Structure 1
Amino acid sequence: MQVQETPCTRLCHTKNILTVNGQFPGPTIYARKGDTVIVKVINQGNKNITLHWHGVGQPRNPWSDGPEYITQCPIQPGANFTQQIQLTDEEGTLWWHAHSDFDLATVHGPLIINPKQGTMYPFNKPHKEFTLILGEWWNKDVNTVLEEALQSGGEVQPSDANTINGQPGDFLPCSQKGINDLFNQILINNALPNADTVKVHVEQGKSYLLRLINAALSSEFFFTIANHHLTVVGTDGSYTKPYVTDLVFITPGQTMDVLIEANQFQNSSSPSRYYIAAQPYIGNPLISYDGNMTTAILEYETNYTTIPAPPLLLSLPGIGNTDAVAIFADGLRSLVDKDHPIDVPETINEHMYITVSINDILCPNKSCKGPLGNRFAASLNNVSFENPQINVLHAYYYSIPGVYTTDFPDYPSHYFNFTEDDIPTDLFVTKKATKVKMLKYNTTVEIIFQGTNILGPGENHPMHLHGQSFYVVGRGSGNFDEKKDPLTYNLVDPPRENTVGVPKNGWATIRFRAVNPGVWYMHCHVDRHMAWGMDMVFITKNGKSEDAKMLPPPSDMPPC
């Protein structure tokens, strides 16, 4: 894979962007369950880069996981690094992306894992499949956007458009007309869609598999197709019980496998086009955000020659509809059959209660552009993670002191009403540190993520764990109640995921078994939150047997 600069035009704005093999979005990697894929990453760009294989467990091999200054130093311009993608029980849709600065915005692509030879999907094989990648587009260089925010201490400029497969769709033409104006143009003038809008071509009576990937840096999306039901059959590389819905909610980092039936009767007087749409969900209306809808078109193949009508319009929940988020998330369940068993830990060795917060860091003379003249920050248990100059994995493997400390707290330093509307300003401030949590091999872990309303109305936080998937055994609103809420846990068929949306004004509980020795990153997949410090590191120690010990580093690890 060659990382390089490529000219790209969107919204009538041309700029050079980082791409892989000259493609945006990047190329699809196809594999089968259990395969090992070798990828040589060649950096032909003008900046440091890393690549991460999102959702791949990478057993015993954190060296190929990818996050900068966690498991490796970046690949410098002109250098290369050969990474090994070791697949085990993953099956379905995953993805790969840059894990350095804001490079994810253009450096990403699908990782499609098909069943092993001789095995089948746990549903009827679809006629065809399509991959739809939800993302964002900035007219300005995206890393300049990051640098300006970090220098000023203020908010990150929101994107100029949301996209499907790199295209904003019909409602953001070069004229910059508003959505209402464009709807009127379509209805009055019988205008046809933009030529660049993504098309999904289907035949009446056949079924299709949509592979959804949310590759956005910030936007969580409601996703729907006009006049068509959606059946979710997988999330994050694991199968689910078929879940019929008119609406999908997908956070940054998540993937979903969705079946649709092309069941709209076709004749010369019926619609042959239906909008596919993604609309952002904004939990906190006080933040800067891109609220633009992005669209593609589901188009039926027809044998009549009349002028095609505009696509059928659709409706989506309000941009702040938290109830719709909760309803969708509560409907996901693991498949659980003889070919797809689950192993939910019931006895827990390590209990962690982690507050997830947007904070500030004091700024001299109140000269920053963040809240109260301070600098925006973010934290887990009031620790705002600071990237070291030597990557954590290297420091751990070679016993280099002074890079990190092993005292990441299991519980918050202060307890208060985390979800009240007005939190005292003395609770806003956090501090930078590089802290990790050590785990013994085969430890069972429960993490309760508690959202907080520090600095105003809370947000959803998509928390992603590297090195292992986990079971989402519970979620709810308000402050977690240690007596009542565990009684609601689902230990029978909870969804198995690698990214969980911690709900606005609420909590989510995950469980996993630490059987993958190595250094593993955990972070919010809203990239500005990660840049502000909403991340931490787990180090799982070696077990006793040889197959429970971390592999040695490859010879071509990038130097710091």
Structure 2
Amino acid sequence: MTVVEADGNHVEPFETKNLYINSGETYSVLVKADQNSSRNYWITTNVVSREPSTPTGLAIFNYYPNPPDKDLIPTVPTTGPLWNDTASQLAQSCAIRAHHDFVQRPPPKSDRVIVLLNTQNSIDGYYRWSLNNRSLALPHTPYLIAVNENFTDAFDQNPPPDSYDIHNYDIFGVPNNANATSSNAIYRISFNTTVDIILQNANTMTQNNSETHPWHMHGHDFWVLAYGKNKFDKEKDPAKYNLVDPIMKNTVPLYPYGWTALRFRADNPGVWIFHCHIEPHLYMGMGIVFEVGVEMVGTLPTSIMGCGETKRLIRP
């Protein structure tokens, strides 16, 4: 198959027999039906990044007017790549480029850099996911209304940190982050500024274990600048950024014990969440919220009121 699009953006076409699709990602592919039309063919899907407990998914590529059944397939289904073959997943991600006719080059530099250490922690006796030792816990009052109406008591007004103790943190060890806490604080980002986000993966609460996380951003597309192994070096690694033809996406994988660098233009007013697209991970706190240009949103309709502190805005 030939891959031609990712997350709504044109990519430089490339051929592959196996396409890795993380939760939240979308791809468009072209398949040329030029094989022996007297038979059918297997299409298989299987789980990657975590050891599967389910069988390989099967579908049939059917040449009409053949009956759509497996009796016309002389081969056994393929099993696909190994679930823990991270190297080939990383290679595919690194190889994707914007189509030469549709390149939107990113700004040459950013106004702000946010480095997010992605860890698993124990908070109040429960496993949680955290960014820079803060696990997202959404408040009862919607952020957009709280910010727009200046409800300073609706969520923590202290900004979360833009980085972590990079020099002393061991990403390969089981974390002992005694100061990890639940938080509903948000990142305030100046409108129309350029922001780099560095996602840094680390070990979970299980020895010798780090997981793949597909990170999804609401309200914006971003440029995927680079991927790397081990710990991000803020002095050396920015030299590896692709500023010529990086693909724009809204979902990007963060691989085990590695880092992913992305850049976006904060040009869409509102309050937006950026989170792991594996549902349980989001509910366990793996996400951040950022606000940009809320003063440009305007008057909010009363039809969205009713939760938390917004009840005071409802008029009889």
TM over 0.5: yes
CA distance in 1, matches of 2:138, 2:165: 22
2:205 corresponds in structure 1 to: 455
The DSSP-based 3-state class of the residue aligned with 2:59 is strand
- Asked if structure 1 preserves the Cα contact closer than 8 Å seen for 2:56 and 2:79, the reply is no
> 1:274 Cα deviation (Å)?
1.5
2:311 corresponds in structure 1 to: none
Which one of 82, 87, 93 corresponds to residue 318 of structure 1? 82
Unaligned runs of 5+ in 2: 308-316
> 1:279 Cα deviation (Å)?
0.9
| Cα distance, 1:334–1:341 mapped onto 2, change above 3 Å | closer
**Aligned pairs (5 A) from 1:126-525:** 230-267=1-38, 272-283=39-50, 290-302=53-65, 308-310=71-73, 312=75, 313-337=77-101, 340-363=102-125, 375-404=126-155, 405-413=157-165, 415-420=167-172, 422-423=173-174, 425-427=175-177, 430-456=180-206, 457-525=209-277
> 1:303 Cα deviation (Å)?
6.5
| Cα distance, 1:341–1:252 mapped onto 2, change above 3 Å | same
TM-score computed with the length of structure 1 as normaliser: 0.51
> 1:243 Cα deviation (Å)?
1.4
**Paired residue type of 1:463:** W
**Paired residue type of 1:382:** N
**Paired residue type of 1:451:** N
> 1:278 Cα deviation (Å)?
1.3
Higher RCO (CA 8 Å, separation ≥ 6 residues): 2
| Cα distance, 1:301–1:442 mapped onto 2, change above 3 Å | same
**Paired residue type of 1:442:** N
> 1:382 Cα deviation (Å)?
1.0
> 1:553 Cα deviation (Å)?
2.1
Unaligned runs of 5+ in 1: 1-229, 364-374, 544-548
Aligned-residue identity in percent: 30
| Cα distance, 1:556–1:489 mapped onto 2, change above 3 Å | same
Any idea what the Cα deviations from partners look like across 1:324-360, whole Å, max 9, x if unmatched?
21111112111142xx340312121011111111211
**Paired residue type of 1:261:** K
| Cα distance, 1:252–1:401 mapped onto 2, change above 3 Å | same
**Aligned-residue RMSD, C-alpha:** 2.3
> 1:265 Cα deviation (Å)?
2.0
CA distance in 1, matches of 2:49, 2:168: 25
> 1:482 Cα deviation (Å)?
2.0
**Paired residue type of 1:355:** L
CA distance in 1, matches of 2:24, 2:78: 26
1:559 corresponds in structure 2 to: 306
The DSSP-based 3-state class of the residue aligned with 2:20 is strand
TM-score computed with the length of structure 2 as normaliser: 0.89
- Asked if structure 1 preserves the Cα contact closer than 8 Å seen for 2:60 and 2:70, the reply is no
- Asked if structure 1 preserves the Cα contact closer than 8 Å seen for 2:198 and 2:261, the reply is yes
CA distance in 1, matches of 2:63, 2:178: 53
CA distance in 2, matches of 1:454, 1:493: 34
Any idea what the Cα deviations from partners look like across 1:489-544, whole Å, max 9, x if unmatched?
1111111100110111100000011111110111111111111111111100258x
> 1:318 Cα deviation (Å)?
1.0
> 1:450 Cα deviation (Å)?
0.3
**Paired residue type of 2:301:** P
The DSSP-based 3-state class of the residue aligned with 1:280 is coil
- Asked if structure 2 preserves the Cα contact closer than 8 Å seen for 1:382 and 1:413, the reply is no
